Amino acid sequence: MNRFIDRELVILATLVAVTIAVFLGTRRFAAANDLMRRRDAEAWYAIGDGALKKGDVHTAVPAFRRAAAKNPDDAHYRRTLAAALMASHDDDAALQLLLDLHDQRADDAETDLQLARLEARRGDRPAAGRYYQTAIVALWRAAERPARQEVRREFIKFLLEHGERDRALSELLVLETGLSQDVPSQVSAATMLLAAGDARRALDHFDAALRVSPSDVQALSGAAESSFELGDYARTQRYLRHIAADSDRTRELRAVTTLVLTGDPLMARLPIAERRRRLADWLSHVLGRLETCQMQAIVTRPETTADLDAVLTEARTLDAAVASRSGFRSSDDVEAAFEVVYRGTRAADRICDSSAPRDRALRLIGRRHGLEPQ
């Protein structure tokens, strides 16, 4: 039995040696196979990419699927597959794939970003917001900072599209801290600030952009828009003067600011005659508008005609007074009369709203002089 045991030990030692040799050989074989699979995956990816560029998602999806199956460690293949699935409107499969990837790689910003876009498309705003935020706070290398800013910009645009101005403003505050001084960055941030309702900070960034490139049309338009929002119509005109080619918007801005600056009867240091002239001009416009609206209200909203009649009577009385040139010797008289004009235009707005430059200008003048809260 002793000899038997010794023989067993020798054979066991031999077996161990054989096992080690087989293990090393198998590892080499596995490495070679792994390389083969990676190459296959690259080839399938190239096929899918080519098909996707041609818009052929039916070829692209299976090709990306095979690439992902051949090399499951490469998250890029799976993300591309998800993108192709989204392109083929198979959102459920894309979501499943991305969630799976998200579970495996919690700090992968690109996966989170794709998930955010997908959820945004599916209309799940809270989920989209959550994934945007996880994408932003994911691990980014120093070299990827611009990409991270880009994700933040996309998130801000998403928030603005969905009316979440406060959240957008707080994200914009973070964005501003690392903002580059180049024109596109400044203009982009300023545009978003303007959309979020912070015209003051938007104007600062547009001005910063204009300091670098004074003739930049986007910056000029944005600055004009911002100063217009701030009620600084003289400054708006200054910016508009530098814009060579008018767009519909700049043309509208130009018309409204000109009307505000040339038609304000309450402007400081105006002779009383000019004040009266401007008041008469606005009164005549409002009377005409009220009469038109009254006709319209009889048909569409008869319950409002009583209010409209009262304002119209008041305006006609004022018109008679302006025509007789009695009174209106002081600015206070003009201001009181303009208040009636303003009430008239607001009453007309309630029945038949108008966005004509003249009506907009009248409203802005009223607001400018505190007749309506800003």
Partner 1 sequence: MTTPAAPRVQQLRLRENQLFLALSIVLGILAGLSAVLFSLAIDRTSHIFFGLAPTNLRLFAVPALVSVVTGLLLAKVFPDVRGSGVPQTEAAFRLHEGKIPGRVPIGKFLTGVLCIGSGHSMGREGPSVQIGAGIASFVGRWLGLSPERAKMLIPVGAAGALSAAFNTPVAAVIFALEEIIGDMNAGLLGSTVVASVAAVIVERSILGNAPLFRVPPYHLVHPAELIGYAALGIIGGFVSLVFCRALLELRAAFQRLPASTRWLQPAAGGVAIGLILIVSPAVMGVGYEYVDQALNGGLVLNTLLLLCFLKLGATVISYSSGNAGGIFAPSLYIGAMAGGAVGMIVRRLAPFPTGDPGAYALVGMGTLFAGIIRAPMTSVFMIFEITQDYQILVPLMVANLLSFMISRRFQPTPVYHALLEQDHIHLPSPVLKRGPRGWTAGDIMAEAPPLIAADRSVESVSRELASDGRLPILVGSADGLIGVLRRERLSEAVTSGRGSDPVESLLDASFNHAHPDHPIDVILERLSDSDGLLPIISRDDTRRVEGVITADDVTRALGRRRAR
User: What residues line the site for partner 1 (CB under 8 A)?
Assistant: 1-2, 4-5, 7-9, 11-12, 15-16, 18-19, 22-23, 26-27, 29-30, 32-33, 36-37, 40, 43-44, 47, 65-66, 69, 72-73, 92-93, 96-97, 99-100, 103
Closer residue to partner 1, CB minimum distance, 3 or 269: 3
In the block, tokens 């003739």 appear at 215
- Whichever of 68 and 199 has its CB closer to partner 1, that residue is 68
DSSP state of 138: S
Closest approach, Cβ 20 to partner 1, in A, equals 9
CA-wise closest residue to 40 among 66, 19, 22:
66
37-57 b/e (C-beta count within 10 Å ≥ 16 → b): eeeebeebbebbbebbeeeeb
Instruction: Tell me how far, at minimum, the Cβ of 97 lies from partner 1, in Å.
Output: 7
Angle between helices 357-368 and 331-351 (to 10 degrees): 130
Select 127 or 270, whichever has its Cβ closest to partner 1.
127
Q: How far is the CB of 52 from partner 1 (least distance, A)?
A: 17
- Gap between the Cα atoms of 188 and 209, Å rounded: 10
Q: Shortest distance, CB of residue 178 to partner 1, whole angstroms?
A: 37
Question: Could you tell me if 191 and 164 are in contact, meaning their C-beta atoms sit under 8 angstroms apart?
Answer: no
Residue 99 CB, nearest approach to partner 1 (Å): 7
Considering the complex, state which of residue 92 and residue 274 has its C-beta at the smaller distance from partner 1.
92
User: How near is the Cβ of 142 to partner 1 at its closest, in Å?
Assistant: 30
Question: What token pair was written down for 20?
Answer: 């080690």
Of 82 and 138, nearer to partner 1 (C-beta) is 82
Question: What span, in angstroms and rounded, lies between the C-alpha atoms of 349 and 343?
Answer: 10
* Phi-psi map region of 270: left, alpha, beta (phi>0 left; psi -120 to 50 alpha): beta
Count of Cβ atoms closer than 10 Å to residue 36 Cβ: 11
Between 33 and 215, name the residue whose CB sits nearer to partner 1.
Answer: 33
Q: How far is the CB of 100 from partner 1 (least distance, A)?
A: 5
CB-nearer residue toward partner 1: 73 or 307 = 73
Least distance in angstroms from the C-beta of 365 to partner 1:
59
Contact 120, 135 (CB under 8 A): no
Q: Which is nearer to partner 1, 60 or 341 (CB)?
A: 60
**Nearer to partner 1 (CB atom), residue 11 or residue 173:** 11
How far apart are the C-alpha atoms of 162 and 119, rounded to whole Å? 13
Least distance between partner 1 and beta carbon 54 (Å)? 17
Q: State the amino acid at position 122 in one-letter form.
A: R
For 74-133, the three-class secondary structure string (H helix, E strand, C coil) is CHHHHHHHHHHHHHCCCHHHHHHHHHHHHHHCCCCHHHHHHHHHHHHHHCCHHHHHHHHH
Q: Is 141 exposed, middle or buried (0-12, 13-18, 19+ CB in 10 A)?
A: exposed
Residue 290 near residue 348 (C-beta atoms within 8 A):
yes
